[in-house]
Amino acid sequence: MRYQRHKFDKTMAKRRIKVVILVAVILFAVINVRVRPVLKEMTAVEAGYITNIAVNAAAEEVLSREDISYDDFITLNTLEDGTVSSMTSDIHEMNKFKTEISKEIQNKLADYCEREVSVPLGTLTGIDLLSGRGPRIKMKIELYGSVNTNLKSSFEDAGINQTRHRIICDVNVGVSAIIPGCSSYTDVESSFTVSETVLLGDVPSSYTNVDTSSGFFDDINNYIDD
């Protein structure tokens, strides 16, 4: 009797182990199907939020620290009546600014390299009725980003016989967000005004980019309206 009972207990224990393994496999499958897409979406949103904060903070810091003005980038040539006839942009100064802003954005992103977030368990299931419910689960997100910047000009009417010229910095940040068992990649687009001025007259017929870093005007790009 004792031998049979012992054999029965071992059989039951094996069955319980199999049930536990089966439940674990099912849970893992549910996590892959339901939870992983939610985690990817959540990390992408968090990465975008953090990146926008980093870009805005970097822009404010660089613009105030370098005390940048419109004249640093653009030289205006005027007629006797004060009307702007042509404009010359300093590519060297523009590239210098792009380097500074890219470096500062990277520094700001590094401050958020590891960020802890907590998410309700119900939200992770992806079920609308359970969203925001249940105990909060803490997760650590690691961010890695690459920064690309570009300066462009924008012209718009600013009144009678006046044109507003803006120098705008477009920023593209590719961010990888990684949490245990899941990762996502997202591109974040942002832009801000570097400097602006109001020109007397219409858009100038000549707009020249000059690279002054070499000391010679070998590389000159002219933009002339027909």
Domain that holds residue 157: 2-224
d(CA 183, CA 138): 16
Phi, psi of 28 (to 5 degrees): -65, -40
* Four-point Cα dihedral 40, 140, 108, 170, nearest 10: 0
The pLDDT of residue 174? 87
User: Which letter does DSSP use for residue 205 in this model?
Assistant: S
Condensed to tens digits (0 to 9), the pLDDT of residues 132-175 reads: 777 777 777 777 778 999 998 888 887 777 888 889 999 998 88
The pLDDT of residue 5? 54
- Asked whether 164 and 198 are in contact (CB, 8 A), the reply is yes
- Asked whether 171 and 148 are in contact (CB, 8 A), the reply is yes
Phi, psi of 46 (to 5 degrees): -65, -40
The pTM of this model reads 0.66
The pLDDT of residue 224? 40
Helix (H) or strand (E) holding 183: strand 182-200
Point out the residues of the chain with pLDDT beneath 70: 1-14, 24-25, 27-35, 121-130, 180-182, 201-226
Which residues are CB-neighbours of 60 under 8 A, at least 6 positions away? Answer: none
**How many structural domains comprise the chain?**
1
- Asked whether 41 and 182 are in contact (CB, 8 A), the reply is no
